[in-house]
Amino acid sequence: MSSTPQIDDTLRERIIAQPDVILEDQDLMRALIAANERAMGGNIVDLRGIAMERLEARLDRLEDTHRSVIAAAYENLAGTNQVHRAILRMLDPVEFESFIKDLGADVASILRVDSVKLVLETVQDDNDPAIKRLGDVLSVAEPGFIQSYLTGGRNSNPRQVTLRQIHEGDARIYGQDAGFVRSEACLLLDFGEGRLPGMLAMGAEDPHQFSPQQGTDLLAFFAGVFERAMRRWLS
């Protein structure tokens, strides 16, 4: 091997003065290792190089996992803050009509959903003027409707929070908004002993906004707060 330098003197002096520049550049180090392997010939196995490649692959996987964990943590924190802001806004009104109407306006905007509907089971006539005033947000149904809707007609107990993707929203719940709903979060509501159940339905145009694989803790907490607020109005 010739000892005569074959690179520019300035570049050579810079490398000698700052060797860490090469060591910290992964692409450059790979090129140097590959050149060394070619110089050794094809009948020599570089075990150190193989070990280094495996360590680099493992490090890359660890870095990807680390980034995924951090991204999930930020997403959970953002979701928590979002639900907390929606709850605070929901508790602001001092009149029941404003409380209900805000669900479809400010609360829906904070939660970034396209439609929020409150479904109440009742034996009363849905032509009641009080019900009509809240028609944009409130839907009334016959007793048993909510359980049937959440379970698909099966004889089973529905979960408190149901997340699912759907082909189209149910017009009995979403009204004119039903056509664009592609996923929904349904929160089963318990208003106390002797009262029929209710349901909050959150509809989204994005089919991936709600899916069964997602966690439900935050929405269960939101449902719990809403139940307690409604009990105050119903008492």
Residue 45 per-residue DSSP state? -
Contacting residues for 225 by C-beta, under 8 A, at least 6 apart? 87, 90, 91
Residue 157 per-residue DSSP state? P
Query: Which pLDDT score is estimated for 1?
Result: 46
End-to-end Cα, the chain, rounded Å: 94
Query: Which pLDDT score is estimated for 184?
Result: 96
Contacting residues for 37 by C-beta, under 8 A, at least 6 apart? 46, 49
Residue with tokens 């004119």: 176
Query: Which pLDDT score is estimated for 109?
Result: 92
So where are the chain's domains? 93-234
Biggest CA pair distance of the chain:
99
Does 93-234 carry CATH code 1.10.1060.10?
no
pLDDT tens for the chain, 235 residues: list them: 455 556 777 877 777 787 777 777 777 777 777 776 666 665 655 666 667 777 777 877 888 787 777 766 667 777 788 899 999 999 898 888 888 889 989 999 999 999 999 999 887 655 655 555 666 888 888 999 999 999 987 878 889 999 999 999 999 999 888 999 999 999 999 988 888 999 999 999 999 999 998 889 999 999 999 999 988 887 7
Query: Which pLDDT score is estimated for 4?
Result: 54
CA angle 92, 74, 222 (to 5 degrees): 30
What's the predicted TM-score (pTM) here?
0.67
